[in-house]
Structure 1
Amino acid sequence: MILVTGATGLNGKAIVREFARQKHQVRALVRDLNRASAAGLGGLAGVELVDGDMRRAETLGAALDGVDRVLMISTAAQDMVETQCRFIDACKQAGVAHVVKFSGAESNIGYDATKFRFTRMHEEVERYLEGAGMAWTHLRPSQFMQVYLRDAPTIAAEGAFYLALGGTELSPVDVEDIAKVAVRLLRDGGHEGESLDMTGPEALTMSDIAARISQAIGKPVRYVDISPQDRRRNLLAAGVPADFADALDEQLAERLRRPKSRVHLATHEMFGVRATPFVEFAQRHAAMLRGGA
């Protein structure tokens, strides 16, 4: 049996849906069965929903019973290290053979992972998992294409989106590509002791991304470069907690210091997954980017 945690989040949900699409059984750990059903996971063929909390080992008995492989995802939060390390301990106690950690790796060349608290946390959990006595694999995607959907309201209303990246390149990857790789890794096994980085197929500036969105939706879209201070004010005004805004400030500062981005498609190729170009991603979400539902 395969277990996916964080099943109602962006990546967890995509991975569970990909299991269902491939008609392969999977168990999905959720904290709220009602929320899972609302997220569209209830009733998917082959998907067993089970409630439990990664922070509380006593709630995980049913979730981990008979499980051979786990994909471990949890929210990027201040307690991520404690949450995931406790869960690793629970997996070991339950006899899980192989834990795949959903991690992350920035695409910028020379990026110092110690400068951004969440990459530091991921690396701390990776080290803990490597020493836990189970087979492990780290799946390490770069920025998700889906983050640009957050800018859909201003793209639709103003034909613009506002970030503080100047001419910095990023190599965003489609979450659907990650899901295909994750399902094949969990279904077929192997790759123990490997760290599998993933990026998208292009290193793109924000102006490049604007041009591809323009092409996809058939109307001009421009990138407006703003100051890091204005970006922070916008985040706080949108309700982002101050400590999370602090973390995003760290990430931005290091991206600006390392403006060139690598493209790494070895993981796509290893699992036979075609890397989705950004323009195709934007075409898939064109209705939203035009202001639709």
Structure 2
Amino acid sequence: MILVTCATGKTGKAITKALVSSGKQVKAMVRKANSAQTAREMGVGDVITADLANKEEVFHAMEGVSAVYYVAPNMDPNERLNGENIISACQSEHINHLVFHSVLHTQIEALPHHWERHFVEQSIINSGVPYSILQVGSYMQNMLPMWEKMLESGIHRMAYDTEAPMSLVDLEDVAEVAVKITDNSNFFNGIFEIAGPSITLLEKAKILTSVLGRNIIAEKQPLVQFLEHGKAIGLNKYTLSMMSKMFPYYDKHGLVGSDKVLGWILGRRPTDFKEFVRRTYEPNSYNS
């Protein structure tokens, strides 16, 4: 049985659905009791409520599983503590395989939420537990909450420079990778960069225009405006602080990896942005 943490978040849902669909037994760990039903609706029979920051709860959640797919909360001040609890429980339960869903380029101190995962990765490598570390790029799906607004306004807005290159990855490709490597000894003790082809906002806008059949332009959203919106929708101070450092870094450097490892694991070319847009767009969902 495979334990998936944060199983009802954006990443966790995709991973859980893919594992269940592949016929694997999944135990879903959720932070709040009211998320349990969401997990069950994905076909998970065994659901447990636990807080990653609570060592006893993590140990209890790991009982009866052979492998762990560790999805950590994004931009969490307890990053290292959460990781320590997972690793300790894996050691105690003699877990066969720990997969850590990490982020691209954890070596970069200028991105503190990436840098914190660097220390978790180090602890995993030194733990003695068979592991696979997936260093995952930003998702193509991150634009979906703004999809309808983009269609209405004709503007694709993100809070970084329109010419900054980003190796966006399709979350469905990532979920396919999870199925292929979890509890698979061929991938033990490796670090794998899971990134898609590099693309800028300007290039995305051209593709959106072509596929959607309506003019879409790229525009950088002012950082102050983005952070004000984040505060208004309830993002906490720590998350806003991380974002205030992340987007200026993207302005200067982007976030670029190689798509070669992803293609090798998938056994095919990774999904590109045009394919993602074609799959996402439903012609009847918007009336001009």
Common fold by TM > 0.5: yes
Aligned counterpart, 2:11 = 11
Structure 1 residues 189 and 112, CA, compared in 2 at 3 Å: closer, same or farther?
closer
Aligned counterpart, 2:275 = 280
3-state SS of paired residue (2:166): coil
For 1:203-251, what per-residue CA distance to the aligned partner results, in whole angstroms no more than 9, with x for missing partners?
Answer: 2110111222223332221112243333333433443333312211211
Alignment size in residue pairs: 285
3-state SS of paired residue (1:36): helix
Within 2, Cα distance between the matches of 1:238 and 1:32?
20
3-state SS of paired residue (1:115): coil
The answer to whether the Cα contact below 8 Å between 1:149 and 1:289 also exists between their aligned partners in 2 is no
Structure 1 residues 33 and 246, CA, compared in 2 at 3 Å: closer, same or farther?
closer
The answer to whether the Cα contact below 8 Å between 2:167 and 2:255 also exists between their aligned partners in 1 is no
The answer to whether the Cα contact below 8 Å between 2:19 and 2:178 also exists between their aligned partners in 1 is no
Within 2, Cα distance between the matches of 1:260 and 1:92?
33
Aligned counterpart, 2:88 = 89
Aligned counterpart, 2:175 = 179
- If the length of structure 2 is used for normalisation, what is the TM-score? 0.89
Q: Provide the aligned C-alpha RMSD in A.
A: 2.5
Identity between Structure 1 and Structure 2 (%): 21
Structure 1 residues 228 and 44, CA, compared in 2 at 3 Å: closer, same or farther?
closer
- If the length of structure 1 is used for normalisation, what is the TM-score? 0.87
The answer to whether the Cα contact below 8 Å between 2:259 and 2:270 also exists between their aligned partners in 1 is no
Q: Give the one of 194, 197, 209 matched to 1:198.
A: 194
Within 2, Cα distance between the matches of 1:208 and 1:24?
38
Range with greater deviation from structure 2 (83-92 or 137-146): 83-92
3-state SS of paired residue (2:193): strand
Within 2, Cα distance between the matches of 1:125 and 1:61?
18
The answer to whether the Cα contact below 8 Å between 1:2 and 1:67 also exists between their aligned partners in 2 is yes
Range with greater deviation from structure 2 (163-172 or 24-33): 24-33
Q: Give the one of 123, 129, 136 matched to 1:134.
A: 129
Within 1, Cα distance between the matches of 2:169 and 2:113?
18
Task: Confirm whether residue 158 of structure 1 aligns to residue 156 of structure 2.
Answer: no
Within 2, Cα distance between the matches of 1:288 and 1:10?
25
Q: State the AA in 1 paired with 2:7.
A: A
Query: How far off is 1:47 after superposition?
Result: 4.7
The gaps in structure 1 that reach 5 residues or longer are: none
Aligned counterpart, 1:53 = 51
Q: Give the one of 58, 69, 72 matched to 2:70.
A: 72
